[in-house]
Amino acid sequence: MNASGLSPDQVTLQARARELAAGPVAKRAAEVDRSEQYPWDNVDLLKDARLLGMTIPTQYGGQGKGWLDAVLAIEALSAACAVTGRIAVETNMGAISAVMAYGSEEQKKMAADMVLSGDKPAICITEPDAGSDAGGMTTRADKKGNRYVINGRKHWITGGGVSRLHLIFAKVYDEEGTFEGIGGFLAIRDETKGLKIAKREPTMGLRGIPEAVIDFEDMDVPPSSLLIPPRGLKKGFADLMTAYNSQRVGAATVALGIAEGAYQLALDWSEKRHQFGRPINEFQGLQWKLADMSIKLSAAQALVYNAARSGEGGFPDMLLAAQAKVFTSESAIQVVNEALQFFGARGYSRELPLERMARDVRMFTIGGGTAEVLRNVVAGALLKKKLPQTRDGWAKD
Ligand SMILES: Cc1cc2nc3c(=O)[nH]c(=O)nc-3n(C[C@H](O)[C@H](O)[C@H](O)COP(=O)(O)OP(=O)(O)OC[C@H]3O[C@@H](n4cnc5c(N)ncnc54)[C@H](O)[C@@H]3O)c2cc1C
């Protein structure tokens, strides 16, 4: 893809990430999928290449890079290995960016140190009975003296069992049991009693990162672990959603990278593979497929870069991030599916990466806000109103 408007530093960064992707990351991708093991060696590679924690401000040991810088690295890595691309997302966007925006000095230092030394923070929102309706969560944090006691179950938590730092969302109740709103707490696995990894989900793709059920059983934390308080200046859940726009752009970028990788494989194969005495790219039926694939990728890339650029100095714009994620995730599934078709029977084989890419890319219309729910976000932004989804008109706030 042509990436226009990049600075010389960004071109260098992109080249560094592409080299890593085409070399050791590509070599390990099939094994990461097959073994379902978290690729700690790739984490070390990212660390050495300074692609972990790039967006962390310099005063906390990072490089103070922007979202577009992170996007360029994630895009390149995901073309070779989506799992590694996701690690780059979650060490530059999402929970870590929420800590950097809303955390105390102590919290920022702790999170920055952890990420820069290779931890991929986990963000815990979704519950078995509260998915798209995240506000319907039942995990609760009860204030008891000078502590909060957290109880509940989260599921589909990316990194559950490998991540150490967790950002956990819960309904906060004061000493009298009065609901104060949704807050976010930081906790470190293995250092916080009551945080239990209950089960690993058997996933269709992206198998190198565990998706886990996590139980909080009387998990006792001090008020200093509260990152996003439920009330006051920081509006709690609303702040999380603002920070989450960076994660959405990151997720869209992984989908884009996978599709670009698949497209390139199909393009190359279309020259090599001969049928009827000619390369298959001489058939107009396939030429038009290549044309459509490239149009989708160029449009998706423009949306993703634009959303990333909108966030410089803050977080990406909610509308642009949602538009980018919906379009890119859906287009990427189509592009990968078409790319697989170029290979005929070989595309269906586990010896080639296409079937892995098809499994991996399928996730991105689901995780981080489904395509349907993000269409609600887009419509709400266009109509400039909250669009209630409950039968009672979502009267409560
Ligand atoms: C690989 C993966 C990784 C994930 N990682 C994390 C993570 O790290 N942390 C975390 O907290 N969560 C994570 N999730 C969970 C993810 O955010 C949820 O799956 C998602 O928000 C949807 O919730 P649900 O699965 O319960 O689907 P549901 O909410 O049950 O939705 C079912 C269907 O109904 C549709 N739907 C629901 N409400 C509406 C509506 N109002 N309008 C139109 N359609 C609607 C949905 O789009 C969907 O098609 C992950 C999920 C996956 C697959």
How do residues 289-344 score in pLDDT, each as one tens digit? 999 999 999 999 999 999 999 999 899 999 999 999 999 999 999 999 999 999 99
365 alpha carbon to ligand 1 midpoint, in Å?
Answer: 9
H-helix or E-strand containing 97? helix 95-102
pLDDT at 2: 47
331-345 pLDDT tens trace: 999 999 999 999 999
**The two three-digit tokens of residue 286, written as one number:** 């396939």
Q: Cα angle vertex 130, ends 97, 188, to 5°?
A: 40
The share of the chain scoring above pLDDT 90, in percent, equals 91
Q: Is the pLDDT of residue 25 over 70?
A: yes
Residue 362 pLDDT exceeds 50: yes
Please tell me whether the overall predicted TM-score, pTM, comes out greater than 0.95 for this model: yes
3-state secondary structure of 335: helix
Looking from the CA of residue 169, the nearest atom of ligand 1 is 11
What is the reported pLDDT for 235?
A: 73
Q: What is the mean pLDDT of residues 184-192?
A: 96
Pocket residue to mutate for ligand 1, from 156, 244, 363, most atoms within 8 A of Cβ: 156
pLDDT, tens digit, for every residue of 61-114? Answer: 999 999 999 999 999 999 999 999 999 999 999 899 999 999 999 999 999 999
What sign does the dihedral 32-33-35-37 (CA atoms) show? positive
Cα of 224 from ligand 1 centre, angstroms: 30
Stretch 34-44: mean pLDDT, rounded? 98
At 142-164, the pLDDT tens digits run 999 999 999 999 999 999 999 99
**Residue 218 pLDDT greater than 50, yes or no:** yes
Say whether pLDDT at 350 is over 50: yes
- The closest-lying atom of ligand 1 relative to the alpha carbon of residue 132 is 29
